[in-house]
Amino acid sequence: MTGEAIPSPHKGEGKGEGSSTRVYRRPVPAGWWARRSHYFWYIVREFTALPMALWLLWLLIDIRSAAVRPVNFHPQTSIAFVAFSVVCLAFALYHSFTFLSLAGVIIHVKVLDRPVPSRLIVLSQFALWAVASIVIGFVLIWFAR
């Protein structure tokens, strides 16, 4: 029996051979994301982009409202808008929690040749979020005169 009788499973590796091998792709059902809660929340995380985008487009309209005459300036008061904002806020908060929680995995910092613990990095991101929110809130409220 020669060595060619049974082809090596590693044949062609690194030599360009086998590149035309057809790869079997397991079909994924359309509703795969509804099968497990983990998948569902992953899709929700990706979807957060849409409501946030819509709300930021509204902010552009809000900015543009300053260009009209004072008598035509009517700030938003409708309940429908508040409901829309509440939904957007829920998605925005979910984005913040998921995105900032990843900081410990992404950011690697060393202080005195010692790696900073990932929990501390995540904590610093949430602290930054809190400080930024307080500063922005202060400016928005302080200038309302």
Partner 1 sequence: MSEPAHGPAGGRPHAGKPAYTHLFWWFMFAQGGVIAAILVPVHILLQGVLGPLGVVDTADRHYASWNTLLGNPLVKLYLLVLIAFPFFHFAHRLRYLLVDLGIPSARGTVAQVVFYGAAVAVTLLALAILLTTAPISLG
Residues lying near partner 1 in the complex (CB under 8 A) are found at 28, 30, 33, 43, 46-50, 52-53, 55-60, 62-67, 70, 73, 75-78, 81-82, 84-86, 88-89, 92-93, 95-96, 99-100, 102, 106, 125, 128-129, 132-133, 136-137, 139-145
Residue 3, CA atoms < 13 Å, CB-side half-sphere = 4
The residue (of 11 and 109) whose beta carbon lies closer to partner 1 is 109
The residue (of 1 and 63) whose beta carbon lies closer to partner 1 is 63
Token code pair at residue 9: 């499973």
The residue (of 37 and 77) whose beta carbon lies closer to partner 1 is 77
The residue (of 1 and 30) whose beta carbon lies closer to partner 1 is 30
- Compute the least distance from the CB of residue 4 to partner 1, in Å: 33
Q: Which of 81, 6, 94 is nearest to 45 (CA)?
A: 94
Token code pair at residue 34: 């509804």
- Compute the least distance from the CB of residue 131 to partner 1, in Å: 9
> At 110, is the secondary structure helix, strand, or coil?
strand
Is residue 20 within 8 Å of 61, Cβ to Cβ?
no
Instruction: Give the phi and the psi of residue 115 in degrees, each rounded to 5.
Output: -70, 135
